[in-house]
Amino acid sequence: MATSSDEATARRLDAEDPLTRFRDRFHLPAGPDGPLIYLCGHSLGLMPKAAGPMVEQELRDWATMGVEGHFHAGHPWYAYHEGFRESAATLVGARPGEVVMMNGLTVNLHLMMTSFYRPTPARHQILVEAPAFPSDHYAVQSQLVHHGFGTEEGLIWARPRPGEDTLRTSDIEAVLERRGGDVALMLLSAVNFHTGQLLDVPRLAAAAKRAGAVAGFDLAHAAGNVPLSLHDWDVDFAVWCSYKYLNAGPGAVAGCFVHETHGKSRLPRLAGWWGNDPATRFRMHLEETFVPQDGAQGWQLSNPPILSFAPLRASLDLFDEAGMPALRARSERMTAYLEQLVHAISSRRLVQLTPRDPAARGCQLSLRVTAEARGLFDRLRTAGVVCDFREPDVIRVAPVPLYNTFHELWRFGRILAEALA
């Protein structure tokens, strides 16, 4: 990464990077003096310009065809979800039959735990990381209660060491080695929402398997942010949302991965007609027994929400065009540049929680503000920076390689220095 932090360097970095062109494919929130500096893709990604026309096409097909749109729309609704098999699988390093886009993240998490969390009195504990995303925390607590176990005893927390902010892989492995006989499920976030730390997913999945536990992962902050190889890493299941780095819109359809070793199994599951064998799906009342189709699609419950799917198609088209390896390389350059700008500011008020090692993080930087944290956040917002604040003292910023620029980061560095002063 270039060591110079002058404006000319930032503009040169943008000019030399072929992926800079993707910025023009998004709608940019505007302030009074032009586009805002939007560094909040870890919370909600920006809208692809192609999303609107794609939604409008489905509305036109609905208006002109009615029910016939299921089979005769430009993208027939009956098979719409199957159009994501290749692109979604490529995004998370899976085989096409291992991925399905459906529901919301926490709904998918509960569906997966219904199948993969099979507790016994002797082995019923769930290993999670601290801090876990609140919805994950609530979901695993409710699963424990649902099965008749206490939440205090049923949860095992992998925590950073005293005085540290991030987890050590060896410490999680040690927990599994020491208490693995009690653990039914390990559920970790591949990228932690609070610190931005990227965990060593393959190593931890292997450790869970050695302990006899199921290896599950939340990819909410990882999908579209970091390269993933879920199939090769032998992850049992994973879930993710698509409104953050995948830019599919607020409340967008989520994703689910089930390793092919489980795809043909008859694991217990909550069933619905769209997970049924397509050959008999429309026999309706003539089919009294649910026969799940093979692969992750066998966990579907309802027919796909077409108007929510259309923006996801617009976004995944961009990922297919840019390629995750190129996006990851640009992301590493941008985050390193942002880190350089932050550390060039002479202030003891900022402490970086996110690991300095690029291999141990995505694009997000989490900054602890040791004094007047909320005031600093408010000054950034007033100056046209969109980021977010996590109580009591953490500001999260994320340069997204699809639409952020080096020049924006240079401007953010100037604004941050002035706000601190």
49 pLDDT above the threshold of 90: yes
pLDDT in tens, 382-419: 999 999 999 999 999 999 999 999 999 999 999 999 99
pLDDT grade, residue 266 (50/70/90)? confident
Predicted TM-score (pTM) of this structure = 0.96
Structural domains of the chain in order of their starting residue, each with its CATH number: 7-35+323-420 (3.90.1150.10), 55-320 (3.40.640.10)
Distance between CA 101 and CA 256 in Å, rounded? 6
Q: Which candidate, 298, 232, 290, places its Cα nearest to that of 263?
A: 298
Residues 238, 110, 84, 397, CA torsion sign: negative
324 pLDDT above the threshold of 90: yes
4 pLDDT above the threshold of 70: no
Distance between CA 81 and CA 303 in Å, rounded? 9
pLDDT grade, residue 283 (50/70/90)? confident
pLDDT in tens, 205-262: 999 999 999 999 999 999 999 999 999 999 999 999 999 999 999 999 999 999 999 9
CB-count burial class (<10 Å; 0-12, 13-18, 19+) for 340:
middle
What is residue 5's predicted lDDT score, i.e. its pLDDT? 76
Side-chain half-sphere of 165: how many Cα atoms within 13 Å?
18
Distance between CA 197 and CA 172 in Å, rounded? 14
Side-chain half-sphere of 378: how many Cα atoms within 13 Å?
4
Mean pLDDT of 179-198: 97
Phi, psi of 339 (to 5 degrees): -60, -40
3 pLDDT above the threshold of 60: no
Where residue 217 falls (left for φ over 0; alpha for ψ -120 to 50; beta otherwise) is beta
Q: What is the DSSP string of 77-110?
A: GGGGGGGGHHHHHHHHT--GGGEEE-S-HHHHHH
Distance between CA 27 and CA 48 in Å, rounded? 6
Number of residues assigned to the chain? 421
pLDDT grade, residue 160 (50/70/90)? very high
State the first-to-last Cα distance of the chain, in angstroms, to the nearest integer: 27
Percent of the chain residues past pLDDT 70, beyond the cut:
99
343 pLDDT above the threshold of 60: yes
Q: What is the largest CA-CA distance in the chain?
A: 73
Q: What is the DSSP string of 160-180?
A: PPTT-SS--HHHHHHHHHHHG
Percent of the chain residues past pLDDT 90, beyond the cut:
92
Within a 10 A sphere around the Cβ of 409, how many other Cβ atoms?
Answer: 26
> Which amino acid, one-letter code, is at 63?
A
> Which amino acid, one-letter code, is at 77?
W
Mean pLDDT of 127-150: 96
What is residue 228's predicted lDDT score, i.e. its pLDDT? 98
The answer to whether 416 touches 345, Cβ cutoff 8 Å, is yes
Mean pLDDT of 130-142: 96
Contacts of 283 (CB under 8 A, 6+ apart): none
Instruction: Quote the tokens at residue 93.
Output: 């390093």
What is residue 135's predicted lDDT score, i.e. its pLDDT? 95
Distance between CA 40 and CA 364 in Å, rounded? 9
* 72-102 burial: b if 16+ Cβ within 10 Å, else e: ebebbbbebbebbbebbbbbbbbbbbbbbbb
**Beta strands across the sheet bearing 125-129:** 99-101, 255-258, 237-240, 214-218, 183-189, 125-129, 155-158
Of residues 279 and 413, which shows the higher confidence score?
413
Q: Residue 127: beta bridge partners?
A: 156, 186
What average pLDDT is seen over the chain? 95
pLDDT in tens, 102-122: 999 999 999 999 999 999 999
**Interior angle at CA 413, CA 410 and CA 418, nearest 5:** 135
